[in-house]
Structures are given as structure tokens and as C-alpha cells.
């Protein structure tokens, strides 16, 4: 694993622990020689992760749409900043550049990006590991929502289990290094399954 994409808040959140854990993750990536790929911003937890990788001597590639550069939220001190035409292009480029995806706490943008990666993987487009790196139980309610999706047969249990959730960085990185994608199906009702036989 040579590069990891980190999705996270363009805000810093309400508690110092969000920033502390973002710094810990960035520092660890640099120490392990893993390049950070991220959204290229200098704001919120995004800026914190990027700065902590750089401060520890690591490499950071930012991928940012032109519109956000015009808003002057692009980080100016990265190893490389790639400017793309749209949010769609950014997602595709970040996917190409990364060997796995980690979500730190964040808002709509963070979830949108992470769930798109999970969706691509479900459709067989991507086969890269996806991890929710939790801080102070932030992602526990979301995991509850995923369990509800399984219980209500909107999400296959194999797909539900094909992601990592927790707050132990060593365990997360070990899981990502050893990752083999599940060969999971989507739910299929009996009628559709019968039609396919």
C-alpha cells in the first residue's frame, strides 16, 4: 500500500480530539511512507491531515476542482496539487491515485465520497479497502444505519462486512494491508433470481 486517500471534514468539528486524531493519522502515514491523497483543501480536518503528513516529512497529493481553487481554499504547500474541472473528475482521479480509502469524521462531502467508493466496489468497479476511522464514537450511529439496511434487506451482509470501522490505527492499517475484496452479491429477490436461472 503506497498511497491512501483520506476523506474528512472541511470543518474541524466541535472537539479537540478530532484534530488530535487527524494529526496522529497524518503523522503515521508519513512514518510508514504512505502518500496521502486528499481533497487539496487547507481548511478543517483536511488541512490538519495534510499539514501533519508534511510536518512529518511525508508526501501529499491534493486533487481539487477549479471552483474551490477560486474560493482560495487550496493548500499551497503540498508535494503536488492537481487541479481538475469538476467534483466528478476529482473522485475518479482520487480513486486512480489511491490504494485505499479512509474516512475521518466529516459532513456531507466526506460521506458522499466514501459511499461512492463503497458503491463502486459493490458494482465491481473498484476493489480497494474502505475504512471508517472512528473518533469518539462519531461513526457508531452510521454503522447502526448500515445494520438496519441489512436487516431490511437493502444491503447484503457480505457488503456490510466488507469495510472496516474502529479507532485502532494499527488494526486499521493491518486490515487495509491484508485486504482481499469480498465476492459479495447484491440482494436479489426470488422472482429476479428465478428469471436469471
Q: Name the site residues for ligand AMP (rule: CB under 6 A).
A: 7-11, 39-41, 43, 46, 64, 68, 73, 106-110, 113
**C-beta of residue 182 within 8 angstroms of C-beta of residue 162:** yes
**Smallest gap, in angstroms, from Cβ of residue 7 to ligand AMP?**
4
**Smallest gap, in angstroms, from Cβ of residue 35 to ligand AMP?**
16
Helix (H, G, I), strand (E, B) or coil at 155: coil
Q: Are strands 130-133 and 164-166 parallel, antiparallel or unpaired?
A: parallel
**Smallest gap, in angstroms, from Cβ of residue 1 to ligand AMP?**
19
**Smallest gap, in angstroms, from Cβ of residue 130 to ligand AMP?**
14
Q: Which is nearer to ligand AMP, 4 or 156 (CB)?
A: 4
**Smallest gap, in angstroms, from Cβ of residue 61 to ligand AMP?**
13
| Nearest residue to ligand AMP, scored by beta-carbon proximity | 109
Query: 108 CB contacts (<8 Å, ≥6 apart)?
Result: none
Closest CA to 49 of 73, 72, 80, 18: 18
Query: 168 CB contacts (<8 Å, ≥6 apart)?
Result: none
Q: Which is nearer to ligand AMP, 94 or 156 (CB)?
A: 94
Q: Which is nearer to ligand AMP, 7 or 179 (CB)?
A: 7
**Which contacts qualify for 117-120: CB closer than 8 Å, 24 or more apart?**
118/159, 118/163, 120/95
Q: Which is nearer to ligand AMP, 8 or 25 (CB)?
A: 8
C-alpha cell at 192: 429476479
Instruction: Give the chain's radius of gyration (CA, Å).
Output: 17
Q: Which is nearer to ligand AMP, 68 or 156 (CB)?
A: 68
Amino acid at each position: 500500500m503506497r498511497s491512501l486517500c483520506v476523506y474528512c471534514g472541511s470543518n474541524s468539528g466541535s472537539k479537540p480530539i478530532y484534530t488530535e486524531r487527524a494529526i496522529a493519522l497524518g503523522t503515521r502515514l508519513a512514518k510508514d511512507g504512505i502518500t496521502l491523497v486528499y481533497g487539496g483543501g487547507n481548511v478543517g480536518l483536511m488541512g490538519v491531515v495534510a499539514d501533519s503528513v508534511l510536518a512529518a516529512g511525508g508526501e501529499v497529493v491534493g486533487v481539487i476542482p477549479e471552483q474551490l481553487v477560486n474560493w482560495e481554499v487550496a493548500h499551497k504547500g503540498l508535494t503536488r496539487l492537481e487541479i481538475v474541472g469538476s467534483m466528478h473528475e476529482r473522485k475518479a482521479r482520487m480513486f486512480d491515485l489511491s490504494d485505499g480509502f479512509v474516512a475521518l469524521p466529516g459532513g456531507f462531502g466526506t460521506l458522499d465520497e466514501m459511499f461512492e467508493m463503497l458503491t463502486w466496489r459493490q458494482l465491481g468497479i473498484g476493489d480497494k479497502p474502505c475504512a471508517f476511522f472512528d473518533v469518539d464514537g462519531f461513526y457508531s450511529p452510521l454503522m447502526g444505519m448500515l445494520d438496519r439496511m441489512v436487516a431490511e434487506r437493502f444491503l447484503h451482509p457480505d457488503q456490510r462486512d466488507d469495510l472496516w470501522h474502529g479507532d485502532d490505527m494499527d488494526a486499521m492499517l493491518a486490515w487495509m494491508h491484508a485486504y482481499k475484496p469480498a465476492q459479495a452479491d447484491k440482494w436479489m429477490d426470488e422472482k429476479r433470481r428465478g428469471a436469471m436461472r
